């Protein structure tokens, strides 16, 4: 077994091995916090960020299993959790209704003055939950949390009391079983597992930082519905009641704790950003953020007409002529599986058996419609974004004119005019070709 070493962080090297990046010290690979997985990533940004987080400490312990210590909430610990997220995700699914029913952000102090202070801090979180879940579901969520507290107090008096007796005492009582069967729990589950794995991992890490007291506030942060400061205020409001004891979070001594939760929130955001930086998925997100324009086009499907529910040559021709127009103008990016408003919808509606079949379909269509030579200007990628697969076709400007043929039609010449694709008639075509490609 390798010895534990006290090392200078600046002696940890970033190396590239088999198209992935890793951290090493003296040829010894750095491992995740449990020592079970190598610390590697397809892009260097995350590993540089992890090294910089430890860099502020100067020196670090390299444990005998290859992990780093001391451990603190950071990209290193979040990434370590992410490598074990199959088990973590199963645990979250299994216990989600209990987690929500006991979420501290839903419990208010009995004292009106303290409760008002809590409500003020929790307002952004509660407003988001109200808007997302709807008035009735949010009310159910609040009643479920109150019921959990009520049940715990009653069982201190009579540990064998049943749900019917609890309902007799409190008509608004919502049992754990009732709550677990509600569509509200499924909605929150979809919100959590609808996030990319890096966001789920950061969210779970923040949940742990609260002592498993609140998942809803971290979820709001990771979905971009709360700022780091709003998140920290929500956590302080949620933890205003700790084990039934009220604390005065307005006191100066708690200002440091508030700032600490802001720091935790920013660390979670930094993890997501550094994890994504340099990855194809982030490049696609950046393209979507820019919106459609002269060099960007979104299409919802490869072949499926969403109005008729059937495959349609018109749908296919729409993106093929866009690629021809990109090549004949200044190049561009086509994203298929993204709606006009920038929502990632994925390719499931096209009902290909697998991605290889989708790729083959696209290649065959492009060869038939544009010619094999035109394909040298195109690069097709299938990328996972928001847990959905989209097709990203990068298109270079062509050195020669590209004509587009559709089924049963003559060849046409397309160019981009702003965010639109337009066909040129004979007179305009001759003039444009001479100007763009030079004399024939």
pLDDT at res. 252:
63
Residues in the chain where the model's pLDDT stays below 70: 1-2, 150, 153-160, 162-163, 165-166, 168, 170-171, 241-253, 440
Q: Are residues 113 and 154 in the same domain?
A: yes
**Statement to judge: residues 178 and 310 lie in one domain:** no
Q: Are residues 15 and 93 in the same domain?
A: no
Total of domains in the chain: 3
Does residue 76 sit within a domain?
A: no
20 located within any domain: yes
In a domain, 38, yes or no: yes
pTM for this entry: 0.82
pLDDT of 344 reads 95
| pLDDT of amino acid 437 | 87
Residues 322, 297 contacting (CB under 8 angstroms):
yes
Nearest to 360 by CA among 302, 405, 306: 302
- CA distances, 239 to each of 52, 257, 266, 319 (Å): 31, 11, 19, 53
Q: Of 210, 242, 276, at which residue does a domain stop?
A: 276
Helices and strands: H and E segment counts in the chain: 16, 18
Same domain, 170 and 104: yes
Which residue, chain included where needed, has tokens 């059937």? Answer: 310
Same domain, yes or no, for 30 and 118? no
The number of residues making up the chain comes to 440
Domain end among 254, 276, 298? 276
- Chain centre distance of CA 56: 28
Give the residue ranges of DSSP H helices in 56-173. Answer: 75-82, 85-101, 112-133, 135-157, 163-169
92 and 241 both lie in a single domain: yes
- Domain match, 269 and 349 both: no
Distances (CA, A) of 125 to 150, 223, 243: 23, 12, 22
- Residues 15, 162 within the same domain: no
Do 295 and 431 belong to one domain?
yes
Residue ranges making up the domain that contains 10: 5-71
Please identify which residue in the block is written with the tokens 């750095």: 30
Residues 63 and 105 in one domain: no
pLDDT tens per residue, range 286-309? 999 999 999 999 999 999 999 999
Q: The domain spanning residue 301 has which CATH number? A: 3.30.950.30
Asked whether 59 and 53 are in contact (CB, 8 A), the reply is no
Residue 79 resides in a domain = no
Q: What pLDDT does residue 244 have?
A: 44
**Are residues 321 and 223 part of one domain?**
no
């Amino acid at each position: 077994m390798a010895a534990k070493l006290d090392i200078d962080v600046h002696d940890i090297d970033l190396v590239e091995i088999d198209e992935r990046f890793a951290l090493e010290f003296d040829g010894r690979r750095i491992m995740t916090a449990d020592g079970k997985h190598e610390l590697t990533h397809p892009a260097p940004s995350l590993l540089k960020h992890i090294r910089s987080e430890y860099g502020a400490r100067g020196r670090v312990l390299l444990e005998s299993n290859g992990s780093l210590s001391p451990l603190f909430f950071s990209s290193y610990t979040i990434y370590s959790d992410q490598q074990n997220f199959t088990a973590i995700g199963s645990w979250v699914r299994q216990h989600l209704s209990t987690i929500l029913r006991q979420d501290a952000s839903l419990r208010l102090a009995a004292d009106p003055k303290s409760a008002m202070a809590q409500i003020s801090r929790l307002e952004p979180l509660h407003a988001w939950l109200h808007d997302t879940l709807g008035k009735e579901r949010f009310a159910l969520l609040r009643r479920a949390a109150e019921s959990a507290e009520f049940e715990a107090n009653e069982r201190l008096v009579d540990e064998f009391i049943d749900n019917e007796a609890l309902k007799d005492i409190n008509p608004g009582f919502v049992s754990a079983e009732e709550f677990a069967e509600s569509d509200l729990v499924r909605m929150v589950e979809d919100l959590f597992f609808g996030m990319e794995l890096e966001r789920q991992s950061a969210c779970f890490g923040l949940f742990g930082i609260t002592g498993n007291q609140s998942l809803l506030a971290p979820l709001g942060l990771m979905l971009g519905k709360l700022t780091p400061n709003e998140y920290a205020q929500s956590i302080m409001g949620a933890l205003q009641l700790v084990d039934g004891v009220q604390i005065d979070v307005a006191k100066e001594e708690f200002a440091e704790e508030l700032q600490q939760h802001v720091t935790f929130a920013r660390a979670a955001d930094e993890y997501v950003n550094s994890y994504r930086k340099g990855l194809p998925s982030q490049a696609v997100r950046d393209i979507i953020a820019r919106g459609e324009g002269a060099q960007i086009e979104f299409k919802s499907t490869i072949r499926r007409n969403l109005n008729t529910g059937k495959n349609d040559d018109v749908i296919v021709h729409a993106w093929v002529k866009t690629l021809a127009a990109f090549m004949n103008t200044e190049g561009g990016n086509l994203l298929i599986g993204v709606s006009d408003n920038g929502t990632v919808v994925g390719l499931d509606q096209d009902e290909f058996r697998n991605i290889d079949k989708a790729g083959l379909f696209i290649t065959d269509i492009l060869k038939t419609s544009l010619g094999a030579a035109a394909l040298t200007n195109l690069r097709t990628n299938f990328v996972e974004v928001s847990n959905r697969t989209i097709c990203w076709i990068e298109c270079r400007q062509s050195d020669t004119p590209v004509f587009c043929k559709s089924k049963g039609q003559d060849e046409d010449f397309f160019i981009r005019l702003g965010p639109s694709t337009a066909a040129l008639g004979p007179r305009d075509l001759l003039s444009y070709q001479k100007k763009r490609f030079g004399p024939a």
